[in-house]
Amino acid sequence: MSIPTIAATRVYLGGEEKSLSFEQFPYTGLSKTYCVDHQTADSACSATAYLGGVKANLGTIGVTAAVKQKNCSAMNMKENQVDSIARLFQLKGKRTGVVTTTRVTHATPAGIYAHTSERDWESDTDVMNFNGDITQCEDIAHQLIFGSTGRNLNVILDALLIDLGGGRKNFLPREVQDEDGNSGDRSDGVNLIEEWKRYRESQGQLYEYVWNRERLFNVKENTEYLLGLFQPDHLNYNLERDPQTQPSLEEMTEAALRVLDKPGSSGYFLLVEGGRIDTAHHLSWARKALDETAEFSKAVQKALSLTNQQDTLIVVTSDHAHTMSYAGYAARGSDVFGYAGTASDEDPYTILNYANGPGYKPFMATGQRYVPSLEEMNNLEFQWPSTVPKKKETHGADDVAIFANGPWSHLFSGVMEENVIPYLIGLASCVSPYIKCEDLHPKLP
């Protein structure tokens, strides 16, 4: 969710003067997103930064920079593993959860609970496909169910973890079909969903596993642990989802908060990810990316409406930028999915473009630039023009915005390293092991 993405989404929502929900927050800053070994971050090293508090190497999650990609022995060394901010909440007896429109084993949500040297090891089959040793390289889905942080998330915890998203295939054996008739992807024969249920039962905990919108809306009020896997893979894009069966990000956020924010609660941590913004950009699907950004804005607004800003800190940011530009001299009120004007070659050019990606079109034999028609650009899967050909668009190395509201939100002002973010959250919530902060927090009346 780069700054150009936010700006273009305003126009998508009705005009340049519009604002997304989080743009109304009183404090803003910028985050520097680079990895230890790369100028441009991926979602793995960046998740380690804004959730774990350390910069890491590209492709690694929940480990320090001492761990190189695909190095199993290094990732298993305790001194190389990094506790996430969610784990700190758990250690203080607070509830924790994660909501995402991607697979719950994808890089961003995995930053909550996993310690791995390879972000793509989402199931044991993935480990084997990379010629890894499954006895030494624990896959991400397995860590979610059996790891100390994942197991204790009330939405999956001793606190309370909510896991709401997609990715059922990584939790089921190949010979097992899910509720929609899709086969799993695991080779070890372990049904991780059933393992999650068995553990909850062994602890005498009130839990529910849901796989569609109807069941999500009927979760009992006394539910302590909620696992929701709504698709075999990522959830569908909002513009393509079936609203009767797949919940929106806004609806999942509301469901998570109703489980986490119980009467008498001592506090909670919830990560909400609009992950399909990123996947749309990678395919140069600008129309879908802007719509997913609008959906994320709705989820933030829902969180605002269900919480008290006097005791709830909400921080909105992005793990990295993208290469989409929003430029040209289009007139006010122009369709953001249209033309900006006429270029030097006397042909029109689009308002939205990518620095690289699959939308590259080679020059025709005549030497003329390819100009997409308005009819083409109205297609949901039209791939917007790219300067350099890539099968997938890359991330951007530019800084991303931070928006903060609530207690101690003033700390999120200025330009900061991305790995500072969890330390500020830890201070604001009094879960940091490095600071005795109780005296800094006046008791609410």
Which residue numbers belong to the known binding site for Mg(2+)? 106, 108, 273
Higher model confidence: residue 437 or residue 208? 208
3-class SS at 240?
A: coil
Contacts of residue 388, defined as CB under 8 A and 6 or more positions apart, other chains included, come to 355, 356, 357, 360
Report the half-sphere exposure of 290 (CA within 13 A, side-chain side).
23
Residue 3, φ and ψ in degrees, nearest 5: -65, -40
Assigned token pair, 35: 């990895």
User: What's the pLDDT score for residue 158?
Assistant: 25
Active site residues: 43
What is the predicted pLDDT for the residue at 171? Answer: 83
Residues 11-23 have a mean pLDDT of 97
Percent of the chain, pLDDT > 70? 93
Binding residue ranges: 106, 108, 273, 278, 282, 319-320, 395
Structure tokens given for 401: 């915005």
Q: Model's pTM, two decimal places?
A: 0.91
Annotated binding residues for Zn(2+), as ranges? 278, 282, 319-320, 395
pLDDT for 133-181, tens place per residue?
A: 888 999 999 999 999 999 988 874 222 334 444 457 788 888 887 767 7
pLDDT, one tens digit per residue, over 416-433 is 999 999 999 999 999 988
Let me know: does 12 contact 291? Beta carbons within 8 Å: yes
Q: Which residue has the tokens 């921080």?
A: 315
Which CATH superfamily includes the segment(s) 3-316+406-440? Alkaline Phosphatase, subunit A (3.40.720.10)
Is residue 370 scored above 60 in pLDDT? Answer: yes
Query: What's the pLDDT score for residue 242?
Result: 86
What is the per-residue pLDDT for 80? 98
Q: 6: helix, coil or strand? A: helix
At 267-296, the pLDDT tens digits run 999 999 999 999 999 999 999 999 999 999
Reply yes or no on whether the pLDDT at 11 is more than 70: yes
Say how many C-beta atoms besides its own lie within 10 A of residue 113's C-beta. Answer: 31
Q: Given the structure tokens 């404090």, which residue do they identify?
A: 27
Question: What integer pLDDT is reported at residue 183 of this predicted model?
Answer: 81
Task: Write out the two tokens for 214.
Answer: 């109807």
Structure confidence at residue 162 (pLDDT): 43
Residue with tokens 């039962």: 201
What's the rounded mean pLDDT across residues 88-116? 94
Find the radius of gyration of the CA atoms of the chain: 22
CB 154 within 8 A of CB 205: no
Nearest to 76 by CA among 27, 117, 19: 117
Task: Summarize the confidence of residues 374-394 as an average pLDDT.
Answer: 95
Q: Residue 157: what pLDDT?
A: 26
pLDDT for residue 74 is more than 50: yes
Contacts of 128 (CB under 8 A, 6+ apart): 134, 187
- Per-residue pLDDT, 164: 44
